[in-house]
């Protein structure tokens, strides 16, 4: 009678290596999609927060406050502080009042102390074609979000 020796057979090692190779082939694309989705959601949240902050600051300060997107540098923010960056993989479109388009590539939505705004929308589009539209109502200055068909 033969005693079994501890260790792995060649077949077991080959199967383990095949499973590891399959995982290495599947995991990086999944992580890439996860990272892209997280960036997208964070950017949407930051855009919404900055628009709402501009609206609140206009009411609090008693003076007009702008939310701006600089298409040349791909940055956005409240007033002159364009602190947030737009990810390169996201396409961005804006519909704003003609007087709020600057020659340097900035588009702005101006919020007024009485609650109104110049109105407009900012669209973020993912590489898949899906995206979101953030609308600012000109009468009430209310910020809303809707999905784009993609």
* Reported pTM: 0.79
Rounded distance between C-alpha atoms, residue 110 and residue 116, angstroms:
9
Which residue segments constitute the domains of the chain, with CATH numbers given? 10-148 (3.55.40.10)
Query: How high is the pLDDT of residue 4?
Result: 63
d(CA 104, CA 4): 77
Residue 17: the pLDDT is 86
Q: Where are the alpha helices (DSSP H) in 1-150?
A: 10-61
Phi first, then psi, for residue 34 (nearest 5°) are -65, -45
In the numeric block, the tokens 């701006």 are attached to 68
pLDDT for position 105: 83
Closest CA to 117 of 90, 89, 96: 96
Pairing of strands 91-96, 106-111: unpaired
Per residue of the chain (150 residues), what is the pLDDT tens digit?
566 667 778 888 888 888 888 877 777 777 778 888 899 999 999 999 999 999 999 999 999 999 999 999 999 999 989 999 999 999 999 999 999 999 988 999 999 999 999 999 999 999 889 999 999 999 999 999 999 875
Contact 71, 86 (CB under 8 A): no
Distances (CA, A) of 137 to 20, 35, 150: 53, 32, 23
DSSP state of 86: -
- Quote the pLDDT of residue 71: 94
């Amino acid at each position: 009678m033969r005693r079994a020796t501890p260790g792995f057979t060649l077949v077991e090692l080959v199967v383990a290596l095949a499973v590891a190779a399959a995982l290495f082939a599947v995991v990086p694309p999944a992580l890439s999609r996860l990272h892209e989705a997280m960036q997208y959601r964070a950017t949407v949240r930051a855009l919404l927060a900055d628009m709402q902050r501009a609206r609140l600051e206009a009411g609090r300060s008693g003076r007009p406050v702008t939310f701006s997107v600089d298409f040349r540098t791909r940055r956005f923010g409240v007033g002159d502080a364009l602190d947030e960056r737009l990810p390169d993989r996201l396409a961005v479109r804006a519909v704003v009042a003609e007087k709020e388009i600057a020659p340097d590539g900035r588009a702005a939505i101006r919020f007024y102390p009485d609650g109104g705004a110049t109105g407009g929308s900012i669209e973020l589009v993912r590489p898949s074609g899906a995206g979101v539209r953030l609308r600012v109502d000109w009468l009430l200055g209310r910020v809303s979000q809707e999905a784009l068909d993609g």
